[in-house]
Amino acid sequence: MDRNAKVGACAAVAAGMLALTGCSGGAQQAATPTARTSAPVGGSVSDLEQQYEKVVAAVLPSVVKIQTDKAEGSGVVYDDQGHIVTNAHVVAGASKIQVTAASGGATLNAAPVGEFAADDLAVVKVSGGNLKPASWGDSGKAKVGQIVLAMGNPLGLAGSVTNGIVSALHRTVTTKGEGSFQGSTIADAIQTSAAINPGNSGGALVTLNGQVIGIPTAAASDPQVGGPAAGIGFATPSNTVKLIVPQLIEKGKVSNSGRAALGVVVRTIVDPQSGQGSAVAVVQVQKGGGAAKAGIRPGELILSVNGTATPDQTALSSVLANLKPGDTVKVEIQRQDGSKKTVPVTLGQLPGG
């Protein structure tokens, strides 16, 4: 089964029968756990309702509305120092960022701390206020069928909550770049049936024990009907957040991304007849990187990695997202004289700015 899904950060793109859109609106260590509750086992409908109410009351104060001069979205309070996690596409290119708690209160000015576009994550910081840190769970323990709640600022409606289940795990989701956002490829994304709408980006995907296991990032739309595809949304997993965010807080950049890289800069070669990508061309080779050591040179084409065709940059990013630094892969290339060759490449680590 093809586990890859294509997503647009702010605009729909074709992906088989579906188009997928991002969910922002236009215009240290993990935090100390907050109060937790227990999931109902064999209880009545009333028990489940009470569980929902407890989780919402515990977690919603940790969810914020983010308004910029470019767009609006959501965020989750990471720690008691005023750091807030959101999607990179929510704050990309913004010159003004304001934060309001989903549960109400004063609007606070926020300053950017850092972003890692490859995983569509960013951190902003506020001073003052009385924001409550969220409890961050282990997304590696998420189960298909598990009940989850999505909390955020959909369509400008602060403090909104929707419910659903974990529909699938380990999706590879590629978002389209737009404006100052270059796009991303998120590995191990959590697919959920909880409704994700514009403005939910950067919010919280929460379990019934009150832990955040994901950051809602993208939602699907059906080009056949020209509207939302109900029940198909994707969240960046909390374990990625817990790897990337402390680095952004400490240094403003990422040195340990955990993401594989060939060590090349590429561009897509488009077939003039079909208008589709046919291969990726190597524009630049990183000195000392895996591609350089394998003898790959600028001007050559990358046709496949480990037997998976790479007709465009999205396909190449999707393949690499499911690999790790240090892995050795078979890269099929086409030389400038038209000859083809498969070379082994030991992958390096994707840097983060």
User: Is 95 an active-site residue?
Assistant: no
Task: Please identify which of the residues 139, 160, 201, 257 carries the catalytic annotation.
Answer: 201
pLDDT at 334: 96
Would you state the structure tokens that stand for residue 120, as one six-digit string? Answer: 């569509």
pLDDT at 26: 57
Contact 188, 240 (CB under 8 A): yes
pLDDT at 217: 94
Task: Please identify which of the residues 83, 89, 188, 304 carries the catalytic annotation.
Answer: 89
pLDDT at 202: 96
Contacts of residue 144, defined as CB under 8 A and 6 or more positions apart, other chains included, come to 165, 166, 167, 168, 169
User: Is 201 an active-site residue?
Assistant: yes
Sign of CA pseudo-dihedral 320, 325, 331, 335? positive
Task: Please identify which of the residues 120, 167, 184, 188 carries the catalytic annotation.
Answer: 120
Consecutive 10-residue averages of pLDDT for the chain (353 residues): 41 35 53 40 77 96 95 96 97 95 88 95 92 96 98 92 97 84 91 93 97 93 72 95 97 93 94 87 95 96 96 92 95 96 96 70
pTM: 0.83
pLDDT at 14: 29
Domain annotation for the chain: domains and CATH numbers: 4-251 (2.40.10.120), 260-349 (2.30.42.10)
What's at 208, amino acid-wise? Answer: L
Would you state the structure tokens that stand for residue 281, as one six-digit string? Answer: 């061309």
d(CA 154, CA 48): 24
The alpha helices in 70-126, defined as continuous H runs, are 88-91
User: Is 89 an active-site residue?
Assistant: yes
pLDDT at 258: 92
